[in-house]
């Protein structure tokens, strides 16, 4: 009888493994017959049924796990896709501006800006990225004015680069990329400019309180199909960031810019307002290459008790090295400087964060190439000086309101009256 009992159990187990869920009908009938023949007791039969149900459940789980592994294996994403990041922002702006004695009325505009960036870590050393932005061919603006009866707006390639990082503290950039030159403000570089060419950057933590950084860049300015002397720029910038006692810091950098084949060329004619451009000859060609030394300095404190947790003062200076003609005042018009302060929160990203910034600047006519400065300050011209005041407030996480006010005029008057210009910009910016 014992042998028969074991044989029956073996047969039932075989049926469970081969038939799976179908045991519930036919195998229950078999078990009932075994009870009638007194081969199994009622308690033994109930125990056997529980064991068979548990075995069936284990089989179903195993099958699902195997199927899941096969599916995930078949649709496994490449590592570089998992390490791809997206970011961007949308900005809506109202802008009003007026330039005195220019013969034009006040100008009021509603403008929008869209930026979308993608960056992917291909492996431990290589990264590729690109960005799209609204705007036109103007390298100093990604704004689109709302006009022309609901016309569609342009989207352009803002940057596209490959980056090689043999170590965490250094990278080689190739293509068109965000400006690697550090600056406290935009006296020299409009923030929308994305240089083209190659740049070697480093950022090395020498000690707990000392960070050393720098850039060596070779940037293409223009390419002529019928000339060999294409204009280009070499930029060298070493800098340090020092942590001081009491949550203070000082960050400073010195820069040298060499412009080759700018003198004698005429691929651009200066600012759109015609109120301040570099010196040119009668044919409209540049008289100088505008090689220059520049410096930036920022001194701040990051943890202040009370309602103003952060404050800093900052400045910029630039002087051209190869300007030789003098104006009627006996000056070469080869110098520029900026001084300012900011306080509030160091970064405005959450509700209630705020920051106030103010600066005064002066940029003489031949201190710097006229196609690079901030385009909102006196139309992006050189021979410009004046005030800028900014206020930014966080109304939600990654949503900010901003006001930016400019009051500017010429360093050297080009006519009988000062062409004073005032601009007010009101922004709503949403980041994602």
pLDDT digits (tens, 9 = 90+) for 334-379: 999 999 999 999 999 999 999 999 999 999 999 999 999 999 999 9
pLDDT on residue 274? 47
pLDDT on residue 385? 97
405-409: average pLDDT:
97
pLDDT at 42 over 80: no
For residue 19, what are its two tokens? 């038939």
d(CA 43, CA 125): 68
For residues 219 and 191, is the Cβ–Cβ distance under 8 A? Answer: no
pLDDT on residue 310? 98
CATH superfamily of 81-431: Porin (2.40.160.10)
d(CA 4, CA 13): 14
pLDDT on residue 352? 97
pLDDT on residue 284? 82
d(CA 170, CA 213): 9
d(CA 187, CA 318): 9
Tell me the pTM: 0.81
d(CA 309, CA 14): 75
d(CA 396, CA 357): 21
pLDDT band at 16 (very low <50, low <70, confident <90, very high): very low
243-260 pLDDT, tens digit per residue, is 999 999 999 999 999 999
pLDDT on residue 17? 45
56-68: average pLDDT:
68
For residues 233 and 257, is the Cβ–Cβ distance under 8 A? Answer: yes
DSSP secondary structure of 156-213: EEEEEEEEEEEETTEEEEEEE-S--S--SSSSSS-TT---EEEEEEEEEEEETTEEEE
d(CA 54, CA 226): 84
| Cα 250 off chain centre by | 24
d(CA 290, CA 371): 12
Helix axes 2-19, 42-74, angle to 10 degrees: 30
pLDDT at 23 over 50: no
pLDDT at 266 over 70: yes
pLDDT at 3 over 60: no
d(CA 361, CA 373): 12
Return the closest-CA partner of residue 195 out of 227, 142, 233: 233
pLDDT at 116 over 80: yes
pLDDT on residue 269? 59
123-158 pLDDT, tens digit per residue, is 999 999 999 999 999 999 999 999 999 999 999 999
For residue 201, what are its two tokens? 């950057």
Q: Tell me the percentage of the chain whose pLDDT exceeds 70.
A: 84
pLDDT on residue 14? 47
Residues counted in the chain: 432
pLDDT on residue 66? 64
Domain ranges of the chain: 2-74, 81-431
d(CA 284, CA 314): 36
d(CA 58, CA 153): 60
Return the closest-CA partner of residue 240 out of 202, 274, 186: 202
d(CA 277, CA 368): 10
Return the closest-CA partner of residue 230 out of 205, 264, 254: 264
Return the closest-CA partner of residue 178 out of 125, 113, 238, 119: 119
pLDDT on residue 227? 83
């Amino acid at each position: 009888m014992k042998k028969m009992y074991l044989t029956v159990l073996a047969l039932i187990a075989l049926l469970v493994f081969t038939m799976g869920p179908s045991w519930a009908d036919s195998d229950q009938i078999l078990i009932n017959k075994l009870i009638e023949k007194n081969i199994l007791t009622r308690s033994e039969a109930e125990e056997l049924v529980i064991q068979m149900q548990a075995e069936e459940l284990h089989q179903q789980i195993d099958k699902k796990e195997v199927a899941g592994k096969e599916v995930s294996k078949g649709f496994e994403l490449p590592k570089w896709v998992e390490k791809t990041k997206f970011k961007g922002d949308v900005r809506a702006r109202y802008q009003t501006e007026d330039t005195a004695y220019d013969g034009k009325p006040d100008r009021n505009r509603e403008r929008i800006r869209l930026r979308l960036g993608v960056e992917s870590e291909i492996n431990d050393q290589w990264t590729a990225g690109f960005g799209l932005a609204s705007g036109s061919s103007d390298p100093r603006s990604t704004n689109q004015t709302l006009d022309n009866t609901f016309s569609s707006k342009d989207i352009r390639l803002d940057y596209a680069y490959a980056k090689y990082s043999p170590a965490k503290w250094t990278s080689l950039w190739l293509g068109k990329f965000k400006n690697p030159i550090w600056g406290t403000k935009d006296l020299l570089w409009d923030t929308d400019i994305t240089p083209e060419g190659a740049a070697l950057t480093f950022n090395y933590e020498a000690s707990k309180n000392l960070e050393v950084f720098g850039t060596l860049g070779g940037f293409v300015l223009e390419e002529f199909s019928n000339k060999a002397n294409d204009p280009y720029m070499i930029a060298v910038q070493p800098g340090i960031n020092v942590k001081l006692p009491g949550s203070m810091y000082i960050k400073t950098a010195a820069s040298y810019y060499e412009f080759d084949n700018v003198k004698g060329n005429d691929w651009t004619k200066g600012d759109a307002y015609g109120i301040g451009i570099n010196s040119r000859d009668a044919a409209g060609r540049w008289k100088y290459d505008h090689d220059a030394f520049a410096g930036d300095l920022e001194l701040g404190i990051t943890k202040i008790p009370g309602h103003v947790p952060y404050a800093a003062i900052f400045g910029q200076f630039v002087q051209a090295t190869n300007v030789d003609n003098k104006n009627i005042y006996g000056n070469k018009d080869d110098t520029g400087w900026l001084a300012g302060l900011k306080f509030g929160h160091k970064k405005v990203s959450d509700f209630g964060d705020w920051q106030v910034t103010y600066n005064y600047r002066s940029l003489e006519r031949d201190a710097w190439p006229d196609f690079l400065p901030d385009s909102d300050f006196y139309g992006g011209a050189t021979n410009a000086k004046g005030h800028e005041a900014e206020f930014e407030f966080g109304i939600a996480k990654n949503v900010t309101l901003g006001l930016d006010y400019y009051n500017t005029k010429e360093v050297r008057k080009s006519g009988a009256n000062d062409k004073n210009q005032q601009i007010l910009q009101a922004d709503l910016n949403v980041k994602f």
